[in-house]
Structure formats: C-alpha cells, structure tokens
Structure 1
C-alpha cells in the first residue's frame, strides 16, 4: 500500500470515529466528575475559563442538534490535533534534513 493511500485511509477512519462513533461514547461522567459527585463537592466547582469556547463540553457552539453538534466538535478536534501534530512533525523532519545536509558539519570517525 502506498504511503498516500495509507494516510488518507487513516484520516478518513479518524474523522469517522470522531464524527460518528463519538455519539455512541459513554454519557456517564468521567472519573474526576464521578468522584466529585459521589463525595458531594461537585456543586462547588467553579466555571472554567474555556466554558464559552466554541467546542466546550464536547459540543459545537450554535448547533442545536446534539448528534450533529457532538460530531462536528469531534471532527474539528481531530483535525486540530492532526494539523498541530502534522505541523510539528513536518517542522522537526525538515530541520533534521537541513542539519544532515550541512557541508560544514564535522563528523567524528572514532
């Protein structure tokens, strides 16, 4: 399988998981939220500074359909991670290639 086909297949699979399968994820609270509810201090939690962000609470702001809102937030989150991770990988890979092609670089043969 060619690298391009592999990468496109991986991207499509990730977007399907983020956009479709995320709807079927557990609706139960995460571990910290569960413990806070069980021990009685869940109501004392302060509002987070990112509560008004466009993808807060795993939903896209301004989208009324919960399934579409969650799927859109998942797809946008996955694309964001892909762009940041891919950009870092590309930058590091390019810097390593530039360092190895330096004609003034001294190689110790010992």
Structure 2
C-alpha cells in the first residue's frame, strides 16, 4: 500500500510540476464567459487574490507555474494525509462500536 501512495505522490508532483507548463495560459472558462457577457466589470477581487499561489503561479509569475503546482499538491497531500490519520479506524475497536457517552 505504501508503494501505491508513493507512486501516486510522484505522479501527482510530475503532473503538477511538468505538465502544467503545457496547459492553456487562460484555463478558466468562467472568467472567459463573464468577460464575454460583460459581467466581469462588476466583479470584485477575491480576498485571497494577493496570496502567493493565486492565478496558478507563484507570486503571479508564469515562469513558476510548475512550482505553484508542486506546492499545491504537497499541501493537498499533507492535509489529506493528516485527515486520514485522524479519521482512520483504530486497531482493536470494531467499526460499528458505539462511542462512550460517559
């Protein structure tokens, strides 16, 4: 099972770090449609728009798109791994056991 997760992590990092450079430079269809329909002029900036990983690039620099992808994958895997550890079934405790009420 560990080999599977390690392979998953390696493939995810490769896709985020390498393949992202070949992606469309304007991937967001929602932005395109709002601009086309004249809705974008009424839009406000997102509160996290100044965040270093906003707009699929590190610091807004398109040369660092792959690095932003790798950091995004790392954060996502860390959060998911932490949640799996916290929520996993504990050994010796049946899955359908009722919690102790007091």
TM-score (norm 2): 0.80
Structure 1 gaps of 5+ residues are none
Q: Where do 4+ consecutive residues of structure 1 move more than 4 Å?
A: none
Structure 2 gaps of 5+ residues are none
1:72 aligns to 2:96 (yes or no): no
CA distance in 2, matches of 1:99, 1:30: 48
CA distance in 1, matches of 2:76, 2:42: 32
Larger proportion of helix = 1
User: What are the superposed Cα offsets for residues 87-110 of structure 1, whole Å, 9 maximum, x if unpaired?
Assistant: 1011111xx316717xxx68xxxx
Q: How many residues align?
A: 96
User: Which of structures 1 and 2 has the bigger CA Rg?
Assistant: 1
TM-score (norm 1): 0.75
